[in-house]
Structure 1
């Protein structure tokens, strides 16, 4: 993170104050051939101080000022103040500058070290002198650059990890929202399939009962019995869903999910609603996964409810076909006449719920008119667990 302008100014002021203290203490080495005035050393000190101000906010400008001040200081005779400040400038430029600038700076520092070593060898004609010179130059030029590049790499990795953590948090939030949407759709589907059909049947029988008042007391009693039966089944389904939602699906519900075994009872109850229904079961009956059992029951339930609300007179055919890898559910019901109005308004919500149930299980469903009848045909895949059990048997 780059420093603000005020903090950069304070860094420059502190650096110049440190340089003035070192100059006053005589921390510099003049060349033997000439001795410039001490006041002239204030020029490179000012340059490296300005470099300290700009190296974090404008790394290129700070590097140019620092190298210029260092070169001027070397001409006058190297001083400890300029070396210390330029070392910090090289480190700051490596951290805050571009990666390309850092790479070129490292190459330049290495080249200067080689030149310093050659110059020391020529001047002293001693290998030890060249080694000492290259070590000093490396500590002053190469080490700060490498340290800054290392810090920069760790900083970039930390930033990358932060961005990755934010992305993971966003994905987790999206997954949570998707799960909530799926749960809302599931609850809406269960409420419709469990409650809507029973309430629709109660509404139909109550309408029929009102038309029979003071005409046929026996028919009125039958309608009231059907209303009571449908209301009791609806309340039982509602109680099961409430307990399931309140316990978050962990506690056992007092009423188990209905399955294929309960289809016969469903058919008998719908016969009391005035339908003529024939139930046919083919194949070897066996227990299936609960999701498949529930889907098959709900498909038959919704189809029979639609036959009561929208169908015409005639016989309803219900067929359950147990296959090796799938369960077939077919409900054929007579269509009402073209001129007759439906007994109850429809919103096609039931058809949507059936399609969603079958899609979640990876099955297929088709519904529509066929030869003056309304046909619903669904194919539900059998779970792998059931196939393994069948193979062992």
Structure 2
């Protein structure tokens, strides 16, 4: 540590003090002094004291100023000499630049008063008011100029320090935002993949269980079940490949990507989801109320995913029959999924986040979501479970449901809104 301290600013300071002392001695030897009949070596003493202040200008600026004042006082008694006065200007400069802020402001006031007083005193003492201007200017050059210069440098240094701290804070916040955005996108990817896989593989699991648990099935029925299993597997893999292809795209445009039409999921296609549930062994029906119309792409996708997750939950945890109703109302579209419930729970695992995911999907497009037991299930059944989502058909500002300031990149565009099933 000592070696590093010496190799740093201290070496330059020592060289500067030595150079100042050498120049001062040359000035004294050259006659740049007021001769009062004292030996020249006596004038070197105050010069050495002022140069000692140069040695501690950074570590102890107040001490440097004190040594400079003492040196100028001694020099005034035995000289004065130009070399000591010049070194004293550095003592003033260092005290203003490296000392406390209050000391810097005080030095400006004190040196200004001293410069005016010196000029006025010289003019009064010599009875020549021309000396007022001459001595006043000289005193200002020696006293006020170093202080003003140091104040300007100090202000620039402090401003640079503030800007440096601000830049570090901005960089730190940018890194936090980046990490939050990555975490949010990873969460969205996981939810989207979950919604995609859960529907297909839940049907596969139920159909496989039925085929394995029944020994009295004829080959035709078994073949039909296996065809349905294969269809769900192929469709699930196809959708997964499409999404993975989107994730691998380097170009992130305005949400319009090549191949995006292949995965454009719409409310008009929800009958396919009901057909899958029926193919899995449940009784199901769907109907549309009101005039069908185009809705925003985000609402289209959110509605499709909500219906998909609700039907998947009915397949995994509910009983037949299941009913889907899509109602196009003024300013909104209402989705209702009702299914019967039974005493027996299906032994299919779930992550327990389905309702949370559907609620988040509805909130993202400015809609509402409710789910819970219903006193009247689908026609022909008793009490059941009902999921109701009301989504606006006009563009609205989405409600932020997670993360820092709703951060999102365009890596997934409209194809990956927030939300997941169970």
Q: Structure 2 length normalisation: TM-score? A: 0.85
- Distance in 2 of aligned mates of 1:102 and 1:61: 14
Task: Give the counterpart of 2:364 among 337, 340, 360.
Answer: 360
> CA offset at residue 385 of structure 1?
8.0
Counterpart secondary structure, 1:41:
helix
- Distance in 2 of aligned mates of 1:220 and 1:269: 17
Contact 2:325 2:335 in 1 (8 A): yes
Contact 1:326 1:379 in 2 (8 A): yes
Task: Give the counterpart of 1:193 among 192, 195, 219.
Answer: 195
Task: Give the counterpart of 1:12 among 11, 14, 17.
Answer: 17
Counterpart secondary structure, 1:255:
helix
- Distance in 2 of aligned mates of 1:384 and 1:257: 18
- Distance in 2 of aligned mates of 1:81 and 1:157: 34
Unaligned runs of 5+ in 2: 376-382, 398-422
Counterpart secondary structure, 2:319:
coil
Q: Deviation string for 1:176-198 (max 9, x for gaps)? A: 11111111011111101111220
Task: Give the counterpart of 1:107 among 103, 106, 109.
Answer: 109
| Corresponding residue of 1:389 | none
| Corresponding residue of 2:400 | none
| Corresponding residue of 1:22 | 27
- Distance in 1 of aligned mates of 2:273 and 2:346: 22
Equivalent residues in 2 for 1:122-133, closer than 5 Å: 122-133=124-135
Equivalent residues in 2 for 1:290-309, closer than 5 Å: 290-309=297-316
- Distance in 1 of aligned mates of 2:360 and 2:396: 23
Larger deviation: 261-270 or 141-150? 261-270
| Corresponding residue of 1:391 | none
Larger deviation: 289-298 or 377-386? 377-386
- Distance in 1 of aligned mates of 2:229 and 2:237: 12
- Distance in 1 of aligned mates of 2:209 and 2:282: 17
Equivalent residues in 2 for 1:194-233, closer than 5 Å: 194-213=196-215, 215-233=217-235
> CA offset at residue 75 of structure 1?
2.3
Q: Deviation string for 1:342-378 (max 9, x for gaps)? A: 1422221333332332233233222222223111122
Task: Give the counterpart of 1:332 among 338, 341, 345.
Answer: 338
> CA offset at residue 111 of structure 1?
1.0
Equivalent residues in 2 for 1:123-272, closer than 5 Å: 123-213=125-215, 215-248=217-250, 250=253, 251-253=257-259, 255-272=262-279
Unaligned runs of 5+ in 1: 387-393
1:380 aligned onto 2:391: yes
- Distance in 2 of aligned mates of 1:72 and 1:323: 98
- Distance in 2 of aligned mates of 1:36 and 1:101: 35
- Distance in 2 of aligned mates of 1:83 and 1:148: 17
Contact 1:213 1:220 in 2 (8 A): no
- Distance in 2 of aligned mates of 1:259 and 1:148: 70
> CA offset at residue 149 of structure 1?
0.5
| Corresponding residue of 2:78 | 76
- Distance in 2 of aligned mates of 1:385 and 1:331: 24
Q: Deviation string for 1:307-358 (max 9, x for gaps)? A: 1111123x22212232333332221111121xx2314222213333323322
Counterpart secondary structure, 1:278:
strand
Q: Deviation string for 1:222-261 (max 9, x for gaps)? A: 2112101211210121121011111145532261321101
Alignment RMSD, CA only? Answer: 2.1
- Distance in 1 of aligned mates of 2:43 and 2:329: 98
Q: Segments of 4+ in structure 1 off by > 6 A?
A: none
Contact 1:63 1:89 in 2 (8 A): yes
- Distance in 2 of aligned mates of 1:268 and 1:148: 83
CA gap of 1:385–1:369, structure 2 versus 1, over 3 A, is closer
| Corresponding residue of 1:116 | 118
Equivalent residues in 2 for 1:79-94, closer than 5 Å: 79-94=81-96
> CA offset at residue 86 of structure 1?
0.9
Contact 2:201 2:233 in 1 (8 A): yes
Counterpart secondary structure, 1:384:
coil
